[in-house]
Amino acid sequence: MQDPQNSSHNNEWLDHLASVDGKEENKTHFWGKEPSCLISNSSISSRRFTVGNGTNIYNSTIIPALESAQCEIIFVTCFWARSSALDQLSATLVKLSTKANSRPNGIPKLRVRLCFSSCSLIQKLSHTSSPAGHIYPPSKWQSLGLPPPSDLSGLDLQVKSLFFLPFSVMHPKFVIIDRQRALFPSCNLSYESWLECCLPVTGPVVTTLVDFWHNVWARNDFPPLPVTASEEVSSTPPPSEASPSCTTILLPSPHHRSPHFRPFSTAASPPLTPLNTYLLHLFATASKSIKLITPNLTSQPVIDALVTALERGVDVEVITNRRMMILEQLLTSGTITEYCVWKFRRRYRKFTQLRSRRDSAASHMEEGQARQIGKLSVGYFIPGIVYKRSHIKCTVVDEEVIVLGSGNMDRASWYTSQELGIALEGRQVVGDLWRVINGDESPYREVEWLDTVK
């Protein structure tokens, strides 16, 4: 297998992180000295990749993973709310505690770390600005909808929140089981009936994910796994679900408390985080197609990069939402998705018309010499009874790279929120996952496509 860290494709975007600005941006993070540590391998099975609403994903994927834990659960979400998902989590914690209490003497308690960023407006406004966050004492667990401490005696449980005013929410969602397996759901621990997905992974990328969690959440709370318990854990999925390894890149995007908020002026350049840098590199080097599924589209650097790709002949397809979290968009971006889409399509129309006039004037050019403009397709997700909004974040470039995770193509994700993406490289894995998201039975088959710009 080719060493993923030595590919010319990855060397190009890593060079940006090694630049003067890139080093300054990333110097306090574990990847700062050697960004290539973010590149590894993982095993992915498209049969275990889930699409549905949050309740479906908890039922089918997250809860069974939690129940399989032998020694440690790391659970990270952004928004924590009373919901059926929280009820499922609480019942599972009680079940795990009972199971742990029945272990022979000498076996340590099951270690559980529950991490979240937001549960209410009051919680965010009153939250500590310390990077150590706020640890909830057991007496406050029930106020979060968790069982009483007496029902969780078999667990070494800690509940922590992190949030930094004004807009720096910790937006990633992931679960790590025994530091061997990981899940990347797009859904929060919440009640919304949105279209979501969940990617399970095994392999070396999980170790990098543990490093990320440690860097953000654990600090002085990171003991090694008990040897007696870790010996019971297998990192290998069942043979029927095993799949070849593919190049996998963990793409953190740390939060920024200074948002450079200028809604009515030219946008400042986005921070050179791994996620931002990798996505901009993908957009700049795409040769055939870019497909985006994003809840919102308010990031000006993204729109600029897509316009540039269209000008050089790359087809661009965007699926987003109407009227999703309007107040939040206005507070963090000073605009909304619908207005940005309108401006995006107007820019495309203008340079398409300009190119057409230039080509007509250059009648002496040989046929085929003029460069073709890419096709722009923009569609809005159609709300239904099962799915009220689309909440999947997915980028596919040239059918060779797919990026999933927490990052939206909006200003908050690109400038202020902490985000986490995972990129998978390889035509087979990209095709398999895209067919699950956009297959024959997918809700994305009923998108409200806007008229083609003429």
Q: 430-453, pLDDT tens digit by residue?
A: 999 999 999 888 899 889 999 765
The answer, yes or no, to whether residue 237 has pLDDT greater than 80, is: no
pLDDT of 342-370, one tens digit each? 999 999 999 888 876 666 655 544 544 45
Phi and psi torsions of 200, nearest 5°: -90, 140
* CA–CA dist 352, 28 (Å, integer): 44
pLDDT score of 268: 79
Per the prediction, the chain carries an average pLDDT of 89
pLDDT score of 4: 52
* CA–CA dist 109, 80 (Å, integer): 25
* Higher-scoring residue by pLDDT: 400, 105: 400
* CA–CA dist 90, 93 (Å, integer): 5
pLDDT of 393-415, one tens digit each? 999 999 999 999 999 999 999 99
pLDDT score of 368: 47
User: Which tokens hold the place of 14?
Assistant: 């890593």
Phi and psi torsions of 316, nearest 5°: -125, 130
The answer, yes or no, to whether residue 266 has pLDDT greater than 70, is: no
Matching residue, tokens 């995006």: 344
User: Which tokens hold the place of 87?
Assistant: 């009820």
pLDDT score of 370: 52
pLDDT score of 402: 97
pLDDT score of 364: 46
State what percent of residues in the chain have pLDDT above 70. 88
Matching residue, tokens 């995972």: 422
| Long-range interactions of 132-136: CB distance < 8 A, separation 24+ | 132/219, 133/160, 133/161, 133/162, 133/217, 134/160, 134/161, 134/162, 135/159, 135/160, 136/160, 136/161
- Helix residue ranges, H only, 312-336: 326-333
> Does 246 reside within a domain?
no
Q: How far is CA 208 from CA 41, 66, 211, 356, in A?
A: 10, 20, 5, 49
State what percent of residues in the chain have pLDDT above 90. 75
* CA–CA dist 45, 60 (Å, integer): 15
Q: Tell me the mean pLDDT in the region 69-80.
A: 96
Phi and psi torsions of 436, nearest 5°: -70, -40
What are the strands, taking DSSP E only, across 211-287?
Answer: 245-253
Under the banding of pLDDT at 50, 70 and 90, the label for residue 105 is confident
pLDDT score of 369: 47
pLDDT score of 342: 96
Structural domain containing residue 87: 49-239
pLDDT score of 229: 47
pLDDT score of 221: 77
> Does 334 reside within a domain?
no
> Does 298 reside within a domain?
no
> Does 288 reside within a domain?
no
Under the banding of pLDDT at 50, 70 and 90, the label for residue 23 is very high
Is the N-terminal amide bond of 108 cis, ω within 30° of 0? Answer: no
Task: Please report, as a single letter, which amino acid is at residue 117.
Answer: S
Phi and psi torsions of 317, nearest 5°: -125, 125
pLDDT score of 173: 98
Structural element, H or E, at residue 33:
none
> Does 121 reside within a domain?
yes
pLDDT score of 33: 92
Under the banding of pLDDT at 50, 70 and 90, the label for residue 236 is very low
pLDDT score of 257: 77
> Does 416 reside within a domain?
no
Partners of 377 in the beta sheet?
Answer: 317
> Which range is least confidently modeled, 50-59, 316-325, 433-442?
433-442
Q: Tell me the mean pLDDT in the region 7-23.
A: 87
> Does 151 reside within a domain?
yes
The answer, yes or no, to whether residue 196 has pLDDT greater than 60, is: yes
pLDDT score of 235: 44
Q: Is there a contact between 66 and 205 (Cβ–Cβ < 8 Å)?
A: no
* CA–CA dist 423, 246 (Å, integer): 10
* CA–CA dist 351, 175 (Å, integer): 45
User: Which tokens hold the place of 242?
Assistant: 């095993």
CATH number for the domain spanning 234: value is 3.30.870.10
Rg (CA), the chain: 23
Q: Tell me the mean pLDDT in the region 124-143.
A: 94
CA dihedral 282, 420, 96, 243 (to 10 degrees): 10
Partners of 181 in the beta sheet?
Answer: 177, 202
* CA–CA dist 344, 358 (Å, integer): 21
pTM above 0.85, yes or no: yes
Q: Which has the closest alpha carbon to 200: 396, 404, 45?
A: 45
* CA–CA dist 237, 10 (Å, integer): 28
The total domain count for the chain is: 1
> Does 215 reside within a domain?
yes
